[in-house]
Amino acid sequence: MAVRAVRGATQLEVDERDQMLERVTEMVLDVMTSNGLDVDDFISVVFTATGDLHSEFPAYAARQLGFGDVPLLCARELEIAGSMPRVVRMMAHVETDLARSDITHCYLHGAAALRSDLTRVRSVPDR
């Protein structure tokens, strides 16, 4: 079993608590499904949010999914001129038998544009 990092990102349309919880839940579940992971496979998760998001801690959505024993951390994303607004990112450290090249990183909604260079990106367009 190897330790791997898996990335994800999603963009909110508005800074509202319900949408924060919905989008982060969707991102975490997509990372899990796309990589065949269970909560017990997670070692830790770091969430970042852009400075324009204040409605809820992204980690709260993971807690609601059963991540109570997994160390979670929330932080602010760097504020770089011209960067995409209303984005939550995650980097999860997991135990998996997947090779690094087989990890699927999940970029959802507008955040799919952040990593168009990855060939195994699973993206969900805005509804």
What span, in angstroms and rounded, lies between the C-alpha atoms of 10 and 122? Answer: 11
Whether 105 and 24 have beta carbons less than 8 Å apart is answered as no
Whether 50 and 39 have beta carbons less than 8 Å apart is answered as no
What span, in angstroms and rounded, lies between the C-alpha atoms of 27 and 21? Answer: 10
The per-residue pLDDT for range 73-126, each reduced to its tens digit, is 999 999 999 999 999 999 999 999 999 999 999 999 999 888 777 644 555 555
**Residue in 124, 102, 91 with CA at minimum distance from that of residue 10:** 124
Q: Which long-range contacts (CB under 8 A, 24 or more apart) does 116-124 make?
A: 122/30, 122/34, 124/26, 124/30
Q: What is the CATH number of domain 2-115?
A: 3.30.1330.40
Of 40-49, 63-72, 76-85, 117-126, the poorest mean pLDDT is in 117-126
Whether 62 and 49 have beta carbons less than 8 Å apart is answered as no
pTM of the model: 0.90
Count of beta carbons in the 10 Å neighbourhood of residue 13: 12
Rounded to whole angstroms, the maximal C-alpha distance in the chain is 40
The per-residue pLDDT for range 101-115, each reduced to its tens digit, is 999 999 999 998 887
Whether 51 and 77 have beta carbons less than 8 Å apart is answered as yes
